[in-house]
Structure 1
Amino acid sequence: MDSLVLQRVRPSWAPPTLAVLAAITAGVVAQGGFYLPGRILVTALALIALALAWQRFELRPLWLIAGAVAAWALLRAATAGGLADAAGICLALLTLIAGVVVGRGARATDLAAGLTGLGALVAITAWAGVAWRIERWSVLVESTLWRGASTLTYANAAAAVLAACALLALALCTARPSKIQSLLLYLTISGLGATLSRAGALAFALGTAVFLLFGPRRKALRHLIPAALGAAVATAALVPSFPATAAPQPLIALAGLAAGAVIALLHPWFALGLALVGALLVDRSTLDKVLDRRFTLDSQGRSGALRSALETAREHPLLGSGPGQARYLWFDYKGDLVVSRWVHNEYLQWLVDLGAVGLLGLLVLIAALVVLMRRGDVGNPLWAGAVAAIAALAVHSAFDFLWELAVVPLLVGALTGLAAQPRSEEPAVSINGEEPQ
């Protein structure tokens, strides 16, 4: 009963929640925390959030598993080199745990709303980066297409964050429907379209399937269909601005964004009709150029790095090459030799760096996170949204080096904590906004 009373009087936007949202926001702004200054900032803010939530430290098995994985990374670095990369792994594990601790004690709607709002800001900047060719918010890929990247710099990283935030926005639409929530869902999906990320689109699609499996299907589709159709129109209006050989068309993009917003607020059948009309206005020749580059499974960078990484893994299958010690070589689309420190697959990267021993430790850590989430409020739309967002990030991690960005482990931790929240018996925080009869 005491815990119930504490939950009833707990203020909204508690300091640990604000601190972890500040850490994630800082990571997004600081290029994902990929470079050392940004990584230090994200870690410092995550530690502040952890300190504010000190009384909630009750996840001893998770701490022990993460500690064992960190110890192996440091041990392997001591014997093979790569101490800086091993330290990066330890910091990523620390921010992951911080996110879990804070997310598990946060008010679910506050944390979800904060992440959704952040996703909308990422989406708007990524979209504007393409529409106006703002180099701070967009990137020219292979000298052919401009793609939305927001302040994360890397288009696929922006897509990963947007896919997760869009799934949370979908959860909020089903839990507490409103026009604002519908617009936020529409904006995040539109931003995802602006990134032109195939991995992001696949991750969002599979994440949506997970949400429909565990969440309220009819309510979800009632909001998802108009938002997705509106986002399709907004993305189509960006088509003239994507090719590097063409001048940007911000007025067309703005008109498409406005039309998409109208569609997103309509009944699904009306939305479908307007979306079809909008599709007829797209310049087919320009669209073909975009589709020729993005609507394909071919990726020389990924396939080349994958082959090189598999060869390296065969040389050190059990212990790995050491954190950050391997180099991957392949030829790019111009025929030039490319050398990279990262393979576009975090699971394979882990195997190469830390061997089968390290990969086993990672799998045990993932299993512990899954067990923790299974103890949460299963059936709650926010639980389903958090699980779907984590699934999307897990899928996307098989196609990009997302874990090198400090913000991603922290985001995964916060989502895990959100999903791991115990079932609430308090009417004041009912997901339907109504007290039970």
Structure 2
Amino acid sequence: MAVGDVVGVRRETVALPMPSLLLVAGFAAAVVAQGGYYLPGRVLSGLLVGVAVVLARPRPTLLAALGGALALWAVLRGLLEGEVLAALPTVAAAGVFVGAVLVAAQADREQRELLATVVAGVGALVGLTGWVAVVFRIPSWTTVAEGLLRAASTLTYPNAAAAVMAAGVVVSLVLRPSLLTSVMSFVLCTGIGATMSRAGVIALAAGLLVLCVFEGFKKTIAAAAPPLLGAVVAVGALLPTMRLADEPEVLLAVAGLVVGALVALGLPRLGRFVVPVAVLLAAGGAMAAFAFADRLASRVSFSSPDRSGATGAALELVAKAPLFGAGPGNGSFFFARVNDGARVMRYVHNEYLQVLVELGAVGLLLALGVVAAVLIAMWRGRGTSLWAGALAAVVVLLVHSGFDFLWHLPVVLIVAGLCAGLGFPPTRGGVNEGTAA
């Protein structure tokens, strides 16, 4: 099927069942509550997903068994370390993700298209609020790093915001083409640029590669090029405002956003002129990046001394307890930086390594088992454009998880579970065949 050729009906005729509505409510709650990282947001989003699971009453599955085994292993390791409460975040993470998968998997085709629109739409709101925060210097929605003002939106963490938006981009590209989906795709791409997240860009590229494989290279590029090039214009106009030492250029940023939107919406209508115009836009974006290269040096380099130091410290902890790990919550990483003294980081910015440190090889194998069960079930549901978008979104989040601590934020877990469920085999009589995998 072609990109954008999703089978569906008019949205006003589609009604989401209560479990799906609660799942959407959990997603929205986590977005508003700083990604659900802190206790109130984590409890609220987790409770909403939990009630959704109770109402949906999914049948027992291998995925649920593996998620439960991971949670039980975390509890056991907590008991052995004398800090069982430290296992609760892992238990909640496994429950939220698996619960979101099983609830979303029960939706029918039309409901899945609507849920996919919610993922893209909420992600676009995250991107827009992040852009506004940078332009108008809203402290609570931005993060300062190496002198740059990075969009964080209500999630207050730029990399998590980028992960949610990157997943939203690949989903939006397979929705039925319309003015709404075009605008959402553009805002999502612009939002990723405003976060200045290197991992977000890498993960988005991985997701687009998945779409190229399953939807075709030409069709994927045709769908992705307009919003990406429009975002180049918008982000290029935003660059002068991103350096904290400079005065914000509000009018330039607003003009860039408007022109970028016109590019994203008008480029597909240029016919034979689309290629030269696209080349000019790409060249202009490259020139803007070069002009601000000195100000963006920390974001265009793969160097990250803190993460490298934390990774080295994490590997030392793994060497001490490779099989069973140091125990949940015991993954603090101490290291020294040249001319900067001793440093400590709570997260290693690689969720796979974080699990290996805290829960050992046993915990990592269980976590990878959960991932494998999801991918196997999704493979059985292949065949539609929405499936390709859902798979691409899951790949986006799996790739990005190798660069940041995303599994500690319920908003990312809900998005991952929701997108995974959208790619499961279609339901028959209210029972989802793919959940048995």
What is the TM-score normalised by the length of structure 2? Answer: 0.89
SS at match of 1:136: helix
Q: Residues 186 and 261 of structure 1 are in contact (CA less than 8 Å); yes or no, is this contact kept in structure 2?
A: yes
Farther off after superposition, 211-220 or 307-316? 211-220
User: How big is the shift at 1:221?
Assistant: 1.7
Counterpart of 1:400? 404
Give, as a single letter, the amino acid of the residue that structure 2 aligns with 1:252: L
**Structure 2 residue 233 is matched with structure 1 residue 233:** yes
Q: Please, which runs of 5 or more residues in structure 2 have no aligned partner? A: 1-12, 269-273, 430-437
The 2-side partners of 1:138 and 1:82 are apart by 34
Q: Residues 240 and 249 of structure 1 are in contact (CA less than 8 Å); yes or no, is this contact kept in structure 2?
A: yes
After superposition, where does 1:86-235 map in structure 2 within 5 Å? 86-106=87-107, 107-142=111-146, 144-172=147-175, 176-235=176-235
Identical-residue share of aligned pairs (%) = 42
Counterpart of 2:71? 70
SS at match of 1:329: strand
SS at match of 1:294: coil
User: How big is the shift at 1:128?
Assistant: 1.0
The 2-side partners of 1:216 and 1:192 are apart by 24
SS at match of 1:121: helix
Q: 1:62 to 1:52 in 2, by over 3 A?
A: same
Counterpart of 1:348 (choices 349, 353, 356) is: 353
Counterpart of 1:435? none
The 2-side partners of 1:340 and 1:81 are apart by 23
Q: 1:332 to 1:160 in 2, by over 3 A?
A: farther
SS at match of 1:338: strand
Counterpart of 1:379? 383
The 2-side partners of 1:401 and 1:225 are apart by 30
The 1-side partners of 2:85 and 2:70 are apart by 16
Counterpart of 1:358? 363
SS at match of 2:293: helix
Q: Residues 208 and 220 of structure 2 are in contact (CA less than 8 Å); yes or no, is this contact kept in structure 1?
A: no
Q: Residues 106 and 427 of structure 2 are in contact (CA less than 8 Å); yes or no, is this contact kept in structure 1?
A: no
Counterpart of 1:429? none
The 2-side partners of 1:109 and 1:45 are apart by 21
Counterpart of 1:370? 375
User: How big is the shift at 1:338?
Assistant: 1.7
The 2-side partners of 1:178 and 1:46 are apart by 31
Q: Please, which runs of 5 or more residues in structure 1 have no aligned partner? A: 1-9, 426-437
Q: Residues 123 and 150 of structure 1 are in contact (CA less than 8 Å); yes or no, is this contact kept in structure 2?
A: yes
**Structure 2 residue 44 is matched with structure 1 residue 41:** yes
User: How big is the shift at 1:297?
Assistant: 0.8
Counterpart of 1:430? none
User: How big is the shift at 1:332?
Assistant: 5.2
Q: 1:335 to 1:168 in 2, by over 3 A?
A: same
Q: Residues 53 and 99 of structure 2 are in contact (CA less than 8 Å); yes or no, is this contact kept in structure 1?
A: yes
Q: 1:59 to 1:303 in 2, by over 3 A?
A: same
User: How big is the shift at 1:271?
Assistant: 4.6
Q: Residues 210 and 388 of structure 1 are in contact (CA less than 8 Å); yes or no, is this contact kept in structure 2?
A: yes
Counterpart of 1:413? 417
Counterpart of 2:327? 322
**Structure 2 residue 254 is matched with structure 1 residue 254:** yes
Give, as a single letter, the amino acid of the residue that structure 2 aligns with 1:158: A
Counterpart of 2:16 (choices 13, 17, 20) is: 13
The 1-side partners of 2:337 and 2:249 are apart by 30
Q: 1:340 to 1:280 in 2, by over 3 A?
A: closer
Aligned residues: 409
Q: Residues 123 and 168 of structure 2 are in contact (CA less than 8 Å); yes or no, is this contact kept in structure 1?
A: yes
User: How big is the shift at 1:360?
Assistant: 1.3
The 2-side partners of 1:211 and 1:18 are apart by 28
The 2-side partners of 1:365 and 1:146 are apart by 36
Counterpart of 2:7? none
Farther off after superposition, 35-44 or 271-280? 271-280
Give, as a single letter, the amino acid of the residue that structure 2 aligns with 1:222: A
Give, as a single letter, the amino acid of the residue that structure 1 aligns with 2:294: K
Q: 1:317 to 1:281 in 2, by over 3 A?
A: closer
Q: 1:4-43 CA distances to partner (integer Å, 9 max, x unpaired)?
A: xxxxxx9422222221111111111111111111100110
The 1-side partners of 2:282 and 2:331 are apart by 49
Q: 1:283 to 1:372 in 2, by over 3 A?
A: closer
The 2-side partners of 1:349 and 1:257 are apart by 38
Q: Residues 348 and 354 of structure 2 are in contact (CA less than 8 Å); yes or no, is this contact kept in structure 1?
A: yes
Q: 1:240-289 CA distances to partner (integer Å, 9 max, x unpaired)?
A: 0111210111111110000101110123436515625854884854x122
Q: Residues 211 and 388 of structure 1 are in contact (CA less than 8 Å); yes or no, is this contact kept in structure 2?
A: yes
Q: Residues 239 and 290 of structure 1 are in contact (CA less than 8 Å); yes or no, is this contact kept in structure 2?
A: no
The 1-side partners of 2:290 and 2:197 are apart by 20
Counterpart of 2:299 (choices 294, 301, 304) is: 294
User: How big is the shift at 1:406?
Assistant: 1.6
Q: 1:153-192 CA distances to partner (integer Å, 9 max, x unpaired)?
A: 11111111111011111121xxx11122111111100000
The 2-side partners of 1:386 and 1:290 are apart by 36
